[in-house]
Amino acid sequence: MSLTPQQNLRAYVDYLRDLGIYDLYRRDEPQTLLPELLRTAIADSVSRVPMAAPPPVPVARAVSAAAAPLPPRAALPPRPAASTKEASPFDLLASTLSPELAAPMPKPIPFDDLAPLPLKILSPAERPAALEAVRADIGDCTRCPLAYAGRHKIVFADGDPNARLMFVGEGPGADEDASGLPFVGKAGQLLNNMIGAMGLKREEVYIANIVKCRPPGNRTPEPVEANTCTQFLIKQIDIVRPEVIVALGATAATYLLGVKQSLGSLRGRWHSSRGAKVAVTYHPAFLLRDPRQKGEAWKDLQMVMGEMGLKPPAKA
Ligand code: URA
């Protein structure tokens, strides 16, 4: 199902109304003021008709509300032209907000600062059930707007619950959304080759993403989406306890490490997150677009192999 940017925005807005939008642009302002300001701004951006704060609506109703026609527009001044590029609904929404409210989100918070490291490391035998419990907790998730943006399957993870090596990508694409497994499309085939070149099999590593639902049009996850979802990835990392995590691309690096820096400045050295050593490399989808960078990615993987004592497979 492909939504127009306007339908997408509508779905987001309905969802945010259900939540009271207290978290989206929260900064240091008094909490009593912001929701009211946002309600007004969002109501205005959608219908151009001033609305009273809606009564709480069960989340399930947000979906049908999203499909409902927009209310008639009142004769109000035209809103500034909103970009309709592969537009994130948040871009559209932000374009209607005052500069104060539309200011970028504060910097990401490192995974290490989001939750204390668990005192107990689970035994290998306990890990599969612990991961299943996390998956059960996620359920048919409606915690963030991606639940309403056309997702088909929640993509939890794939691989060995006792893996020494974990790969973290950005979020599911179309193939992953259809299958429920991470990295099964073209980028996934390249990732499988990268894993093979390291002397491992896909089943021996653990693969997950920053967000578990497909962002529409494969856009980058919004901070509110990533920040909502990563609580589960943190639990997965804490259960699997990999020695090394490879962050595939800038989004994975940004959220794992809590830094917003160029990939180039993060590659080629070790970072740390949740007790694991973290290496940053190019996302396989980027390598498909620019295969000349494969040699650079191979250098990153060799750094990981050196750390883990891995050898490339013997040539047949
Ligand atoms: N890209 C990602 O970041 N993750 C996937 O699972 C697939 C493509």
pLDDT, tens digit (0-9, with 9 covering 90-100), for 46-73: 444 333 333 343 433 333 333 444 444 3
pLDDT above 90 for 44: no
Which pLDDT tens digit goes with each residue over 186-211? Answer: 999 999 999 999 999 999 999 999 99
Q: Which of the listed residues 152, 167, 176 should we mutate to test ligand 1's pocket, taking the one with most ligand atoms within 8 A of CB?
A: 176
For residue 315, name the pLDDT band (cuts at 50, 70, 90).
Answer: confident
pLDDT score, position 68: 42
pLDDT above 50 for 180: yes
**In whole angstroms, what is the distance from residue 205 CA to residue 192 CA?**
10
Which residue has the least CA distance to atom 7 on ligand 1? 183
CA torsion 232-218-20-133 (nearest 10°) is -20
Sign of CA dihedral 291, 297, 302, 308: negative
Among candidates 235, 256, 238, 234, which has minimal Cα distance to 246?
256
Which pLDDT tens digit goes with each residue over 222-277? Answer: 999 999 999 999 999 999 999 999 999 999 999 999 999 999 999 999 999 999 99
CA of 59 to the centre of ligand 1 (A): 27
Among candidates 164, 241, 252, 244, which has minimal Cα distance to 203?
164
Q: Which domains does the chain have, with CATH numbers?
A: 5-102 (no CATH), 111-308 (3.40.470.10)
Give me 254's structure tokens.
């940004």
Q: Element (H or E) spanning 209, and its range?
A: strand 206-209
- For the chain, the first-to-last Cα distance in angstroms comes to 45
Q: How far is CA 240 from CA 52, 142, 144, 237, in A?
A: 48, 25, 25, 5
**In whole angstroms, what is the distance from residue 239 CA to residue 137 CA?**
14
**In whole angstroms, what is the distance from residue 235 CA to residue 25 CA?**
25
Strand 244-248 relative to strand 276-281: parallel, antiparallel, unpaired? parallel
Q: Identify whether the C-beta of residue 172 lies closer than 8 Å to the C-beta of residue 157.
A: no
Q: Which of the listed residues 146, 156, 170, 281 should we mutate to test ligand 1's pocket, taking the one with most ligand atoms within 8 A of CB?
A: 170
Give the residue, 11 or 75, on which the prediction is more confident. Answer: 11
Measured from CB, residues less than 6 Å from any atom of ligand 1 are 169-173, 176, 182-183, 187-188, 209, 285
Lowest pLDDT segment from 92-106, 126-140, 170-184, 258-272? 92-106
For residue 108, name the pLDDT band (cuts at 50, 70, 90).
Answer: confident
Average pLDDT value over all residues in the chain: 81
Buried b (16+ CB within 10 A) or exposed e, 170-181: bbbbebbbebeb
Among candidates 242, 244, 248, which has minimal Cα distance to 169?
248
